Amino acid sequence: MDGLREKYLSEIAAAKDEVALESVRLAALGKKGEISLAMQGLRDMEPEARKAAGAALNVVRDEVQSALAAAKSALADAALAERLKTEWLDVTLPPRPAPQGTIHPVSQVTEEVTAIFAELGFAVEEGPHIETDWHNFDALNIPAEHPTRTEMDTFYMARAEGDERPPHVLRTHTSPVQIRGMLKHGAPARFICPGRVYRADYDITHTPMFHQLEGLAIDRDVSMANLKWCLEEFCRAFFEVEGVELRFRASHFPFTEPSAEVDIRCSWAGGQLRIGSGMIHPNVLRAGGIDPELWQGFAFGMGIDRLAMLKYGIPDLRAFFDSDLRWLRHYGFAALDAPTAHGGLGA
């Protein structure tokens, strides 16, 4: 009995961790443990001897059991103390800064379309938001009495009393940038003009300020076929789906002849995108200082906000300009996710 006792008490004292301690417990008190087996052996003894041996074994068993329990809790305390040494936390430190700003979907989509058209060789042109009547209308073959002027719900700037010149306007489309680009660069030319435009209109799909993307290409023998290819290529890259369904429909714009509207069915977004386009009208080329006998070109215009709504499934245009932080956090893009044609264009 004494041997048994000494053996296990010293093994318990020597156990370095809870795993080692557990194997000592099994060796002594497990089903096949030495002390357990000894207790089972009592059955074969004479009653007198069994009584004495049984009592002594009980004492040994109790001693080993309580030594095990004491060692176990000592080891658990030591393990905890060790962990706490490495897992401390300085609660007086300020919190780590959470990313705060996001890129607005309009900015993101503007970057995306710019990247796509850059691949196709288009530069970027910009123009003023407060535009002359001439650039916004006349130069685009929209004379004073043309119905387009009233259809566009134009915001007019004020003129001084007695000044009879036509007032400046908040540009109603990005098309005046066509004229500015032509006057600046001459032909050949290939550029897009993304930017803000303004019309007095407000409902779920209209806001008084919105964004358009204009594009044009002028060269010696540009045709509707080039226009079609270019828009198809753009839609495939932008929506990142093969086999985009495009439908060209005869239409009318004062600044193009012939004119076509392109309907793009975005079944995945449950919506439709409409692109205005056509061959640049000779009068428009002339206004841009380009000889229509020598040059021809195509042009197109589309809504950037609409592109964003379709690609990213944003239902209400008005929310774009509410500056609601919850909306911006939900629909915004991380600042470092700059879109590139090679790196992926969003989503």
Which is closer to ligand DAH, CB of 98 or CB of 225? 225
Between CA 339 and CA 112 the distance in angstroms is 6
Which of 300, 320, 331, 333 is close enough to bind ligand DAH by CB under 6 A?
A: 300
> CB of 232: closest distance to ligand DAH in angstroms?
16
* Listed ranges 62-70, 203-211, 232-240, 275-283: which one lies at the site for ligand DAH (CB under 6 A): 275-283
> CB of 337: closest distance to ligand DAH in angstroms?
29
> CB of 203: closest distance to ligand DAH in angstroms?
17
Which of 231, 264, 299, 345 is close enough to bind ligand DAH by CB under 6 A?
A: 299
| Span between the terminal Cα atoms of the chain, in Å | 76
Tell me how many residues contact ligand DAH (CB under 6 A). 12
Which is closer to ligand DAH, CB of 276 or CB of 346? 276
218 to 109, 254, 256: CA distances (angstroms): 25, 18, 13
User: Per DSSP, what are the bridge partners of residue 266?
Assistant: 271
Which is closer to ligand DAH, CB of 4 or CB of 152? 152
Taking a C-beta distance cutoff of 8 angstroms, is the pair 273, 264 a contact? yes
Which of 175, 207, 283, 296 is close enough to bind ligand DAH by CB under 6 A?
A: 175
Which is closer to ligand DAH, CB of 8 or CB of 210? 210
Taking a C-beta distance cutoff of 8 angstroms, is the pair 313, 307 a contact? no
| Phi then psi dihedrals of residue 213, to 5 deg | -125, 120
Instruction: Give me the helices (H) in the chain, please.
Output: 2-14, 18-29, 34-41, 47-86, 105-119, 133-136, 147-151, 176-185, 224-239, 282-287, 304-312, 325-331
Between CA 181 and CA 85 the distance in angstroms is 68
Taking a C-beta distance cutoff of 8 angstroms, is the pair 247, 224 a contact? no
> CB of 100: closest distance to ligand DAH in angstroms?
35
> CB of 174: closest distance to ligand DAH in angstroms?
7
Between CA 42 and CA 51 the distance in angstroms is 9
Q: Is 195 in the site for ligand DAH (CB under 6 A)?
A: no
Between CA 234 and CA 112 the distance in angstroms is 10
> CB of 134: closest distance to ligand DAH in angstroms?
16
> CB of 243: closest distance to ligand DAH in angstroms?
25
Q: Is 307 in the site for ligand DAH (CB under 6 A)?
A: no
* Listed ranges 27-35, 44-52, 270-278, 321-329: which one lies at the site for ligand DAH (CB under 6 A): 270-278
> CB of 335: closest distance to ligand DAH in angstroms?
31
3-state helix, strand, coil in the chain (%, to 5): 45, 20, 35
Q: Is 234 in the site for ligand DAH (CB under 6 A)?
A: no
Q: Is 256 in the site for ligand DAH (CB under 6 A)?
A: yes
Interacting residues toward ligand DAH by CB under 6 A: 173, 175, 214, 253, 255-256, 276-278, 299-301
